[in-house]
Amino acid sequence: MAEREKAVFVGIDVSKEKLDVAVRPSGQLISFSNDEDGISMMADFIKPFLPLLIVFEATGGLETAAVGMLIAKGLPVVVINPRQVRDFAKATGKLAKTDAIDAHLIARFAEAVRPEVRPLKDEETQKLTALITRRRQIVEMITAEKNRLCRTTPWTFKDIQSHIAWLEKCLEKADKNLNNLLRKSPVWREKDEILQSTPGVGPVLSMTLLANLPELGTLNRKQIAALVGVAPLNRDSGLFRGKRMVWGGRGNIRSVLYMSVTCAIRFNPPLKKFYQRLRDAGKFHKVAMTACMRKLLVILNTMIKNRTYWGACHD
């Protein structure tokens, strides 16, 4: 009990212009500008508290500089999905929303839930993540332009066609940059080779996992499946038994994993048999695909953990 009373928890609400910092249990609230000077002052303010946990909401990159500064000072930082905090707010009846309220709410969430501190991305991994994100954006733009091309008028056809050609050159450049970055790191190179030794796993999935799932190989099978969002969750209450569903997790990884499994159930013998067994048992295609996504992710997690190539595991 004494340890709990002494423990300090910090919640930080991030916006483009400022950082609102709430401290529990003292209830202190202070704001800093979200720039180099403000972030430095924020770190100097927080460090003397020796917090047990500092929690940020993921804000699409606005929190990156502040998170990096606190990690550099050796402080325990967790970046969480904003939905977790909103669900916590609903559960506690806190429906009002301001930056100050959000900061206090995040601090309360940190104190009550105590999310696990996991390895965060170093500078090179952040660079890889940025390149992967940009590649995905380019692919989405190419798809959108090709869809427009199917129903455009003769007056705009050539313009869209030229834009597609330019985007495809950008995609080639993005792939080249990704490959160059990957080859510079012996650790990434080894992990990439391990991942791509698996039938159905190509460079896109491999780079996506390296960039967006640094926990790969450090968690057990249940934890890694839940983190990505391919673990079925119970929906039971009293006598009611709801369908098991997957939700939450890292959607960007799931979308790439789904495409890889589409290929793997044709060319990866164990996954092909697993998928067919589920279909023969009457499972819907989507259910079987999700199960295969989970199975492939667990296999890759084990391979990275043991530094074992596919051939060595499935001879």
Which secondary-structure segment (H or E) carries 9? strand 9-14
Is a pLDDT exceeding 60 seen at residue 1? no
Tell me the average pLDDT of the chain: 86
In the chain, the number of structural domains is 3
Q: Is the pLDDT of residue 276 over 60?
A: yes
Last residue of a domain, one of 86, 113, 140: 113
82, 261, 209, 177: CA torsion to nearest 10: -120
Q: Which two tokens stand for residue 89?
A: 């707010």
194 in the same domain as 157:
no
pLDDT at 116: 83
pLDDT tens-digit profile of 41-81? 999 999 999 999 999 988 877 887 888 788 878 889 988 88
Q: Distance between CA 132 and CA 175 in Å, rounded? A: 9
pLDDT of res. 313 = 63
Q: Are residues 61 and 156 both part of a single domain?
A: no
Report if residue 118 sits inside a domain. no
**Helix-strand-coil split of the chain, %, nearest 5:** 60, 10, 25
Q: Within this chain, do residues 179 and 223 fall inside the same structural domain, yes or no? A: no
Structural domain boundaries enclosing 296: 187-315
- Outline where 185-202 has alpha helix (H): 186-196
Task: Clarify whether residues 84 and 152 are in a common domain.
Answer: no
220-247 pLDDT, tens digit each: 998 899 889 887 755 544 444 445 555 5
Distances 252 to 208, 213, 217 between C-alpha atoms, Å: 8, 10, 19
Q: Helix count (H) and strand count (E) of the chain? A: 14, 7
Domain membership flag for residue 15: yes
pLDDT exceeds 90 at position 141 = yes
φ, ψ of residue 88 to 5 degrees: the values are: -65, -40
Query: Do 169 and 212 reside in the same domain of the chain?
Result: no
**Residue 261 scores a pLDDT above 90:** yes
Please tell me whether residues 102 and 135 are part of one structural domain.
no
How many Cβ atoms sit within 10 Å of the Cβ of residue 33? 13
Among 288, 286, 263, 284, which Cα is nearest to 274's? 288
Nearest CA to 187 out of 296, 307, 301 is that of: 307
The pLDDT of residue 73: 82
Domain boundary residue, one of 167, 184, 201: 184
Q: The pTM is what?
A: 0.63
Measured CA to CA, the distance from residue 187 to residue 46 in angstroms comes to 34
Q: Round to whole Å and give the CA distance between 21 and 175.
A: 39
Q: Which residue stretches of 93-153 are H helix?
A: 99-113, 123-150
- The predicted structure's pLDDT at residue 2: 45
| Structural contact between residues 254 and 293, judged by C-beta atoms closer than 8 angstroms | yes
Q: What does the alpha-carbon distance between residue 274 and residue 272 come to, in Å, rounded to a whole number? A: 5
Q: Quick one: 35 and 137 in the same domain?
A: no
